[in-house]
Amino acid sequence: MTKPVRIGIIGLGTVGSGVVRLLVESADHIQRHAGCPIVVAKAVVKDVAKVRSVSVPIDTLSSDIRNISGDPTISVAVLLVGGLEPARSMMVELLQNGKDVVTANKALLAEHGPELFALARTQGRSIAFEAAVAGGIPIVAAISECLAANRIESIRGILNGTSNFILTRMEEDGSSYADALKLAQSKGFAEADPSMDVDGTDATQKLAILSHLAFGVWVPWAEIPRMGIDGLDVDLLHYAGELGYRIRLVAVASRGSAGLTMRVAPALVKIGTPLAETRGAYNAVSIVGDAVGRMFFHGLGAGQMPTASAVVADIIDTVVGRAAITFRTTGVLCDPDANADRIQNMDAHQRHFLRIRASDRPGVLAKITGILGDFRISIASMIQHDAIEQGASIAPDAGVPLVIMTHACSSSDVAKAIEAIDGSDVVRGRSVCLSVLDERAE
Ligand code: NDP
Ligand code: HSE
């Protein structure tokens, strides 16, 4: 029998447990693809005494990374610890000790990718990271290998499963934001610090990684304009629904003559279009390549087994030597200075969805529409429900929601108009302004 390849796993949480389960339960199938058995020789966790959903022989388990980095019989290390530290130090130690690394940690790559990839190259090792973006969807391989003949023009997608799960629960069964987030956490979709999911950080980090693969430009993720779903509420989703739209957290990167435009923000997408029909923890990525045209990828973007599927595929690729070739030939994240066509905050010309809490008194509507008119913003449709008729008890000065869909207009004009409206005496609280991604633009 072919000699087994011994691997080490650091982290046996949601993803790590799924990887062990897959390696054990699908051992024969995986062996056929890898050409040899793959065995978990050692595992490292934080708390050795913790009760786990997978059983790992006690003598293989420790809390000391050196049990893997210092073991010459282990060639592949699978790093499934989240966050920056100690994950970064662990990756450095593994590479310096000659291990090829597989990881799902996008925060680490988005923050320290250039230095870690450079170290791997110096050491003659590879880093495989399919699971770091869009969970089970093979989007990293698609961009860096399968679409290699294309000049990529744009990427648009839903890259955070937790946010999408929360929006879907709020929209489909009226769950509160807090309850939906708790459920996402219990299902293992959320990051250890879930604010990274809901404030758009996680999707932005994934967009930075994909954009580097697609455009060869390294944009520090923190420079990408970002807004999360944490300021949304059920009413907003219902109003969008009344107008025929759903709200999704959409990541966009596109290359134009002025450079690269990137952003992550909630946006309205027309019901029936692929992004609007992406529900629950599913992710979706639409890519336009100059030769292939538009491609659409859809699949589970978070969760134990979909993510384990991507990690195990990377382990197999590493064992058979494919990861080393891809890593060497694609030059991923090796040139932090490759930022020639830096990010541009282009003024987008599109429709906008506004929710303004207006005072319920004469002349208010005229004042708001007047301000919009001053900024050349034309109204396509408007909703204002009669709160009393609907039985709602509105506090005397809380303001009544006025929802406006504009015709296509400049996003910077809308921002200025909203600032003027919010600064006037006819509104209560801050208005919400979201862009509308019309179908022809998808
Ligand atoms: P979990 O929090 O479930 O698991 C983290 C694991 O890391 C735990 O087993 C923990 O040990 C271990 N760990 C933490 N600190 C240390 C340490 N100092 N030394 C050794 N081990 C340590 O995270 P997930 O499995 O959900 O995520 C892992 C990575 O995968 C993250 O980078 C995440 O962003 C990424 N990812 C997650 C997805 C998901 O759906 N969950 C999807 C795609 C990517 P112990 O068990 O003892 O506490
Ligand atoms: N927390 C991440 C998400 C996990 O919800 O998408 C997958 O990267």
Q: Whose CA is nearest to atom 7 of ligand 2?
A: 302
Active-site residue, from 42, 99, 106, 206: 206
Is the minimum distance from the CB of 61 to ligand 1 under 6 angstroms?
Answer: no
Q: What contacts 67, CB < 8 A, 6 or more positions away?
A: 8, 42, 44
Distance CA 292, CA 311 (A): 27
Q: Whose CA is nearest to atom 4 of ligand 2?
A: 302
Distance CA 277, CA 247 (A): 11
Beta bridge pairs of residue 10: 44, 79
CA of 59 to the centre of ligand 1 (A): 21
Is the minimum distance from the CB of 202 to ligand 2 under 6 angstroms?
Answer: yes
Distance CA 215, CA 343 (A): 11
CA of 147 to the centre of ligand 1 (A): 31
Instruction: Map out the domains of the chain with their CATH numbers.
Output: 5-132 (3.40.50.720), 148-299+335-342 (3.30.360.10), 349-441 (3.30.70.260)
Average pLDDT for the chain: 93
| Whether the predicted pLDDT of 245 surpasses 60 | yes
Q: What contacts 403, CB < 8 A, 6 or more positions away?
A: 239, 242, 243, 353, 354, 355, 356, 382, 383, 384
Distance CA 183, CA 169 (A): 9
Which of 80, 112, 311 for a ligand 1 pocket mutation test, highest count of atoms within 8 Å of Cβ?
Answer: 80
Distance CA 353, CA 226 (A): 18
Is the minimum distance from the CB of 46 to ligand 1 under 6 angstroms?
Answer: yes
CA of 188 to the centre of ligand 1 (A): 10
Is the minimum distance from the CB of 84 to ligand 1 under 6 angstroms?
Answer: no
CA 105 to ligand 1: nearest atom: 32
How much is the pLDDT for 415?
A: 96
Is the minimum distance from the CB of 17 to ligand 2 under 6 angstroms?
Answer: no
pLDDT band at 41 (very low <50, low <70, confident <90, very high): very high
Q: What angle do CA 166, 170, 173 make, to 5 degrees?
A: 125
| Whether the predicted pLDDT of 34 surpasses 90 | yes
Q: Which two tokens stand for residue 24?
A: 């054990």
| Whether the predicted pLDDT of 258 surpasses 90 | no
CA of 90 to the centre of ligand 2 (A): 21
Strand 5-10 to 38-44 pairing: parallel
Name the amino acid, one letter, at 172.
E
Pick the closest to residue 398 from 387, 411, 407 (CA basis). Answer: 387
Is the minimum distance from the CB of 189 to ligand 2 under 6 angstroms?
Answer: yes
> How far does the chain reach from its first CA to its final CA, in angstroms?
51
Print the SS3 string covering the chain. CCCCEEEEEECCCHHHHHHHHHHHHCHHHHHHHHCCCEEEEEEECCCCCCCCCCCCCHHHEECCCHHHHCCCCEEEEEECCCCCCCHHHHHHHHHHCCCEEEECCHHHHHHHHHHHHHHHHHHCCCEECHHHCCCCCCHHHHHHHHCCCCCEEEEEEECCHHHHHHHHHHHHHCCCHHHHHHHHHHCCCCCCCCHHHHCCHHHHHHHHHHHHHHHCCCCCHHHCCECCCCCCCHHHHHHHHHCCEEEEEEEEEEEECCEEEEEEEEEEEECCCCCCCCCCCEEEEEEEECCCEEEEEEEECCCHHHHHHHHHHHHHHHHHCHHHHHHHHHCCCCCCCCCCCCECCCCCEECEEEEEEECCCCCHHHHHHHHHHHCCCCEEEEECCCCCCCCCCCCCCCCEEEEEEECCEEHHHHHHHHHHHHCCCCECCCCEEEEEECHHHC
Pick the closest to residue 397 from 356, 355, 358, 354 (CA basis). Answer: 358
| Cβ count near 433 (within 10 Å) | 21
Handedness of CA 11, 16, 17, 19 (dihedral sign): negative
**Are the beta carbons of 150 and 278 closer than 8 angstroms?**
no
pLDDT in tens, 58-100: 789 999 999 999 999 999 999 999 999 999 999 999 999 999 9
**Size of the chain, expressed as the number of residues it contains:** 442
| Whether the predicted pLDDT of 377 surpasses 70 | yes
Q: In this prediction, what percent of the chain has a pLDDT beyond 90?
A: 85
Q: Which strands sit side by side in the sheet containing 100-103, from one edge to the other? A: 61-62, 38-44, 5-10, 74-79, 100-103, 127-128
How much is the pLDDT for 439?
A: 63
Distance CA 192, CA 187 (A): 12
Is the minimum distance from the CB of 109 to ligand 1 under 6 angstroms?
Answer: no
pLDDT in tens, 339-358: 545 666 667 899 999 999 99
206 labelled catalytic: yes
- The closest ligand to the CA of 110 turns out to be 1
How much is the pLDDT for 442?
A: 45
pLDDT in tens, 114-130: 999 999 999 999 999 99
CA 307 to ligand 2: nearest atom: 7
How much is the pLDDT for 396?
A: 55
How much is the pLDDT for 406?
A: 98
Give the global pTM. Answer: 0.95
Is the minimum distance from the CB of 12 to ligand 1 under 6 angstroms?
Answer: yes
| Whether the predicted pLDDT of 177 surpasses 60 | yes
pLDDT in tens, 269-296: 999 999 999 999 999 999 999 999 999 9
CA of 45 to the centre of ligand 1 (A): 9
